[in-house]
Amino acid sequence: MNDLLTDSFEIPRDQASGVGDIEMGSHGPSGSGDHGMENFLHKVEDVNKQIEKLNKLLKKLQDAHEESKTVTKAASMKVIKQRMEKDVDEVGQIARSVKSKIEELDRENLLSRQKPGCGKGTASDRSRMGTTAALKKKLKDKMAEFQVLREKIHREYREVIERRVYTVTGTRADEETIDRLIDTGDSEQIFQKAIQEQGRGQIMDTVAEIQERHDAVRELERKLLDLQQLTYLLTIVHD
């Protein structure tokens, strides 16, 4: 949490020790002179913990995506798909909760300005505003990392599909064929010749895996785009 406080304001000497104790986790009794900063910093700490959860979920999603690139069975792809969707849903819940908490801090910051010694431009006001702005940026930057993952999933999905088609047919499909396959997930028609030559059972396993992968990518992209919209809404909250 220190990085959220250091650059945005300078704490007066009479408040410095109290804020330092709070940041280090030594919470003494709240005095009338702290201008409600102890409660404020508790909430900041809670938001930071939630953002750290987002970081761990991002890592899980990145690892699951890498794992999915080597999967060749529909059942295995389905397991990864369900795991990733569960994690993305949790990301959405946490991100919305964090956004709500930051909006609450925004409102409390404005109310705080009405207290004696806490008006606009005072040390406590600069502390609150600077720290809240830093939290917004931190969440926005983390959500941007999820959008980078979304773009990576989309790009590498195409590469996986191209490899699947080449492995089954022995030829490289043209751009239009790959685009159609990415849009629909229906690969059976593309593999008709291979089905005749190699047998329907073996090829249909690949068809099922491609369809499962198509459904997974589409759903993940949709949910990750929802997160992008949430980030936009955060930027228009009061600064």
Domain limits, the chain? 40-236
Handedness of CA 122, 126, 129, 131 (dihedral sign): negative
Query: Which residue in 217, 235, 192, 212 sits closest to 72, CA to CA?
Result: 212
Give Cβ neighbours of residue 133 (< 8 Å, ≥ 6 apart): 8, 239
pLDDT at 108: 94
- What is the structure's pLDDT at 59? 97
Q: With a cut of 70, which residues of the chain have pLDDT below it?
A: 1-35, 231-239
* Residue 210 confidence (pLDDT): 87
Q: Is the pTM of this model over 0.85?
A: no
CATH node for 40-236: 1.20.58.70
* pLDDT tens digits along 26-81: 333 444 456 678 999 999 999 999 999 999 999 999 999 999 999 889 999 999 99
